[in-house]
Amino acid sequence: MAMKKISQAELSVMEVLWMQSPQPASDIARKLAAQKRWNIKTVKTLLSRLVDKNALSTTKDGRRFLYAPLISREIYARKAARTLSDRLFGGRATPLVAHLAEGRGLSDEDIADLEKLLSDLKREGLNNER
Amino acid sequence: MAMKKISQAELSVMEVLWMQSPQPASDIARKLAAQKRWNIKTVKTLLSRLVDKNALSTTKDGRRFLYAPLISREIYARKAARTLSDRLFGGRATPLVAHLAEGRGLSDEDIADLEKLLSDLKREGLNNER
DNA sequence: GCCCTTTGATTACAAGTGTAGTCATATTGT
DNA sequence: ACAATATGACTACACTTGTAATCAAAGGGC
């Protein structure tokens, strides 16, 4: 049942549905219109393809459909992060963060957040120990 | 001169050239043969496309070409990390790392590395201050 | 000198993607 | 009731990607 790959354009549609769901195509198209200049037909094509790919479920609502994600943003994001990290950073988080830091720089807040995350992770590690 | 998108298969070719360059197609194909079962024709197609995309330069060496990357792995990796981070994590490093941590878990070494990176970043911040 | 191999150039071709258009039907406003 | 509109199903079509094959010229082995 391995989920097929979601394309760039399709991902934009997923984002709208991850923010709220279920929604009919018309609403999705309206929200997307802010960023992309897509004809509603285009949005509908993308929706159909996502349904084919088992990324969305549909429920009938009168003569139209309501769409909802079948994969969570969490899972998708995790997979994408994993893939990138494996592919370009040998699966290590540090070089990835280092690359992000370079050029853009991490804010003080980012650094504080990361430190907190790390201390939480260490605490977990200890718990698993015994 | 915006660099065109490098595809998955093309990226594998880039990896070989990032490890060593310049190289002729035959060498590249031989090295790739370890992972992918690609006909040398396939490798040559990918090389041509990468040249078209301005991702590789060529220099004549007798009757063949030597290929070399026009973008560094560093830059490419940074851009990819940036894109993913912007697209799925609102540009923040922390949720990205958190996602990586979840499910796979960061090793003690990863955590130590990250802590070192963070303290280096803080030191830099101080230096910039004055 | 001639055949086999290597190489670049060109071409192939199906699947996936971006971006719609057409057609038939159901719905709604007047 | 009828025209304009919305909607789903299907179709279109150029471009990209994965994965080669063909063709012609150039070199290399014997």
Domain boundaries, chain A: 8-69, 73-129
Distance CA A113, CA B1 (A): 37
Q: Is A73 helix (H, G, I), strand (E, B) or coil?
A: helix
Residue A48 in tokens = 């159909």
* N- to C-terminal Cα separation, chain B: 38
Q: Is B68 helix (H, G, I), strand (E, B) or coil?
A: strand
State the smallest CA–CA distance between residue A62 and chain B in angstroms.
34
CA of B45 to C1' of C4 (A): 24
User: Cis peptide before B22, with omega less than 30 degrees from 0?
Assistant: yes
Is strand D less than 7 A from the beta carbon of A21?
Answer: no
Is strand C less than 7 A from the beta carbon of A40?
Answer: no
CB contact under 8 A, B110 and A94: yes
Residue A14 in tokens = 């997923």
Asked if pLDDT for residue B32 goes beyond 70, the answer is: yes
For residue range B69-92, what is the model confidence (pLDDT) as tens digits?
999 999 999 999 999 999 999 889
Give residue A84's Cα distance to chain centre: 13
* pLDDT tens, N- to C-terminus, chain A (130 residues): 667 899 999 999 999 999 999 999 999 999 999 999 999 999 999 999 999 999 999 999 999 999 999 999 999 999 999 999 999 998 899 999 999 988 777 888 889 999 999 999 888 766 665 4
Asked if pLDDT for residue B102 goes beyond 90, the answer is: no
Asked if pLDDT for residue B43 goes beyond 80, the answer is: yes
CB contact under 8 A, B99 and A81: yes
- The closest alpha carbon to B90, from A115, A107, A93, belongs to A107
Nucleotide nearest to B61 (CA to C1'): C7
CA of A93 to C1' of D30 (A): 58
Is strand D less than 7 A from the beta carbon of B37?
Answer: yes
**Contacts (Cβ under 8 Å, ≥6 apart) of A114:** A97, A106, B93, B94, B97, B114, B118
* N- to C-terminal Cα separation, chain A: 37
Positive/negative CA dihedral, A119, A125, A128, A130? negative
Q: Is A70 helix (H, G, I), strand (E, B) or coil?
A: coil
Q: What is chain B's length?
A: 130
Strand-pair partners of A69: A56
Distance CA A104, CA B85 (A): 12
Is strand C less than 7 A from the beta carbon of A7?
Answer: yes
Q: What is the mean pLDDT of residues B109-122?
A: 91
User: CA-nearest residue of chain A to B86?
Assistant: A100
Residue B9 in tokens = 């298969």
Query: Tokens 């063949």 correspond to what residue?
Result: B64
Task: Give the pLDDT confidence score for residue A128 in this predicted structure.
Answer: 60
Task: Give the pLDDT confidence score for residue B1 in this predicted structure.
Answer: 65
B8-69: CATH topology is Arc Repressor Mutant, subunit A (1.10.10)
